[in-house]
Amino acid sequence: MGTPAERIPETTEDPVRRLAARLRRRYRDRITGELVVPAREGRYEPLPDGLEPKLREALTSRGVSRLYSHQRAAWDSVRAGRHTVIVTPTASGKTLCYNLPVLQDALTERSKALYLFPTKALSQDQVAELMELNEAGGLGVRAYTFDGDTPGDARKAVRTRGDIIVTNPDMLHQGVLPHHTKWAQFFEGLKYVVIDEMHTYRGVFGSHVANVMRRLRRVCRFYGADPVFILSSATIANPAELAAGLVGGEVSPITESGAPAGEKQLLLWNPPVINADLGIRASARSQATRIARMAVRGGLKTILFARSRLMVEVLTKYLKDVFDNDPRRPARVSAYRGGYLPTERRGTERALRAGEVDCVISTSALELGVDIGSLDVCVLTGYPGTIATTWQRLGRAGRRNRPALGVLVASSEPLDQYIIRNPEFFLGASPESARIDPDQLLILLDHVRCAAFELPFQAGERFGGEPLEELLDYLEQQGVLHREQDTWHWTEDSYPANSVSLRSVAEGNFVVVDATDGGKRIIAEVDYASAPETIYEGAIYLVQSAPYQVEHLDWEGRKAYVRQTRADYYTDAIDYTRLRILERFEGQSGREAEAARGEVHLVRRIPGYKKIRYYTHENIGYGHIDLPDQEMHTTAVWWQLHPEALAAAFPSRQQALDGFLGAAYALHHVAAMRVMSEPQDLGRAVGDGDARWFATAGPGGRGQLRTLDGGELDPDAEARFRPAVFLYDNYPGGVGLSAPLYDRRALVLQDARDLVAACGCEAGCPACVGPILAGEGQRGFSPRQAALTVLDRLLADEPSRRPA
């Protein structure tokens, strides 16, 4: 992966090396690990014999007279009719790996191809690339995008005339497969299916997409087609396994890149401690902003990744305050995130390619392969959650053989601090495996319903690896299928794909309408799940760091009306989660504690928000939010101490409450890693299991008992005090995470205990038990020790625990 960094003299002429040396010299105590990935020479192969002359001419006119070795290997594999996955670094020419065979057969056989990208931005980028090749060689191949932005009057032309259709899994799921009869001509000639950025199809999303591919192949068979799948991915540990799971067949992997690459340097950066007693460090955003300022002032094109849309806007404001304070000059700093209108995102992409933007601040939206030109420096504000994602983001700098610098700035969260304090783990570890479970019952059932709408099921037919008769009989009992001899037919008027989302819990985006000066201009979109946290009345909504205040939220009409403001603060929602145990599937009760797994009813309420001043980040007030509760049934795993053990371990309820909140914080972070899920796929809560109360961290990080309306309960109230830690599947019905968590509960508990025990703070901090702002002296006990006590007691009855 690389070698430890050698000291590079600051006198070097290269500005990237000069910045790296300057950071090392000035901030040596903040750099916990370094890596240099040396420059790499290219390995080349000649263009294939038999390449269509027009296509050869198009390549030559664009400076491509030979192929990288992996591009030629992909050509040979695909032309042999094998499903193929190409796994090489960012900017290694993966696009040509699939464009070449697709264009060859489009020209010689008039065959069709379907391109799937996870985002609209990538789809637009790909069509632009195809059009350039088209024009260069006069190929006459027709490539069209087909997504939610495609006008209704253009859709028929796309279906009937397109040689290459570029879309996304959501549109294939809801807009193409249910209407496959309109696409008959296209499916009859379909020879290739391209799945780009395959590594994004993991977890819940990937499990859904694998079922969409099952439906696609089923429809293709109906029209007599059996397409070859070509997949491409950033580096992951199990590309062939993931690709086979997605497409339902054996896939040949190509993993050795022949592309040249410039030198890459990586620095691991831990913000300095500003309060040793509380273990509080300077914020990751302040450090990332400092590094970005130095890079831009040094003339280096920079990308800054942030974890949330709100943090993108806050960082954009800080950097615009430095570099864009003269309105007469073009902006040097730009934000890029989901929710912006397509025209704004396309404009930012064009400006990046043209070199007109010096610094872009982005969420994961620019993690993928959109062409954004040449960048020199990549700064990550917080660990993205996986090694594979970290390298994918760092790969956005140093494109086109340029040297590059990456800086990973740790936040105070437990995983970040583990990585930054143990750099050998990150620097020496291979990327993670991407996991999917397409046969998870609820996901599978959703897509069997969709597939039954598309084509009747026959007896003996399989859908993936599972026999279907039991599921089909169940759907018949539900009244949506009718069996005639050996065939099941869809009987409902409903359109099942419309009620199945591949990515989110609920449907229906909100639009943000600028009503300043009586106008009604749409300036952004917000997905349903994010709306309660971002566009409540009183919220400050930021677009390119410009503040708008939400004046009215039409929940039913899915519109938020905003006006421009000059607020010197941003807002952050406060949320409460209450759980009620509905059914216990399995459990284990020992001498001191019990663990169980089952079904729970979850109610999430967002009763208010905080106003946070820029730069100082002090809380300057609160506001009230009046929005509907969000409810769902899901599955969870939970732990409780027996009343006698709880009383013996803790002299006060306050101490127990802080201990359970701290234990839940640590458990949540290690559990996501143990079950290879995305962190947002899991939720955590502390409560009594009967929905009478739940716990939150109040002022000073002190635990509080509350009712759902946000009122605080008296800890000495008559209600039975028996707290439980819940980790729940953050999707309706559950997605299969609670079962492996229950099976590995001893390992999860032990990992959480080790994380808390190894922390260097005195009484608790954001790196172990959460945002504890009051130390042992103010409480009379250590919240960190209280969390350790909880974890030790929960572990006491587990036979497979490791020695402490």
Q: Cβ distance 723 to 656 under 8 Å?
A: yes
CA geometry: angle at 495 spanning 491 and 499, to 5°?
125
pTM to 2 decimal places: 0.76
Q: 116: which strand partners?
A: 167, 195
The whole-number pLDDT of residue 703 equals 64
Integer angstrom CA distances of residue 201 from 4, 122, 210, 440, 750: 32, 15, 8, 15, 30
DSSP letter assigned to residue 175: I
Q: What is the pLDDT of residue 327?
A: 82
Whole-number pLDDT of residue 720: 64
Residue 663 and residue 686 in contact, taking contact as beta carbons nearer than 8 Å: no
Local mean pLDDT, 10-residue blocks, the chain (804 residues): 44 81 94 90 93 92 92 96 92 89 94 90 76 86 86 86 93 94 96 92 86 96 97 85 93 93 91 76 92 95 91 93 87 87 82 88 77 84 82 78 90 79 73 75 88 93 82 89 91 85 65 89 84 90 90 91 91 84 90 92 86 83 86 90 91 88 89 70 83 66 60 52 88 76 90 86 77 55 90 83 44
Amino acid symbol at 557: G
Question: For residue 79, what are its two tokens?
Answer: 């032309």
Query: Which tokens sit at 229?
Result: 């799948």
At residue 214, φ and ψ (nearest 5 deg) are -60, -45
Strand partners, 595: 588, 639
Cα separation of 602 and 728, whole Å?
Answer: 9
Query: What is the reported pLDDT for 266?
Result: 93
Q: Measured between alpha carbons, how far is 490 from 456 in angstroms, rounded to an integer?
A: 7
Beta carbons within 8 Å of 206's beta carbon, 6+ residues apart? 200, 242, 245, 246, 434, 435, 436
Q: How far from chain centre, in Å, is Cα 473?
A: 36
Q: Is there a contact between 293 and 25 (Cβ–Cβ < 8 Å)?
A: no
Q: Are strands 487-490 and 593-613 parallel, antiparallel or unpaired?
A: unpaired
Residue 247, amino acid: V
Residue with tokens 């872009």: 360
Q: Is the distance from CB of 681 to CB of 571 less than 8 angstroms?
A: no
Tokens found for residue 272: 């300095």
Task: Compute the half-sphere exposure of residue 2: CA atoms within 13 Å on the CB side of its CA.
Answer: 24
**Which pLDDT does position 225 carry in this prediction?**
96
Structure tokens given for 656: 């127990």
- Per the DSSP assignment, residues forming a β-bridge with 682 are 729
Cβ burial of 77 (10 Å; 0-12, 13-18, 19+) is: buried
Q: For residues 729 and 672, give the distance between their C-alpha atoms in angstroms, rounded to a whole number.
A: 11
- Both tokens of 34, joined, read 């370094």
Residues 6+ apart with CB under 8 A from 554: 560, 561
Task: Give the closest residue to 782 by CA, choosing from 802, 756, 803, 804.
Answer: 756
Nearest to 65 by CA among 45, 83, 81: 45
Q: Is 205:502 a contact under the CB 8 Å cutoff?
A: yes
Angle at 657 between CA 651 and CA 659, to 5 degrees: 85
Biggest CA-to-CA distance, the chain: 85
Q: To which H or E segment does residue 619 belong? A: strand 619-624
Contact criterion met (CB below 8 Å) for 168 and 117: yes
d(CA 219, CA 322): 55
What is the spatial distance between Cα 445 and Cα 705, in angstroms, rounded to a whole number?
39
* Pairwise CA distance, residues 205 & 393, whole Å: 20
Contacts of 63 (CB under 8 A, 6+ apart): none
What tokens were used for 404?
């590059």
Q: How far apart, in whole angstroms, are the C-alpha atoms of residue 361 and residue 349?
A: 12
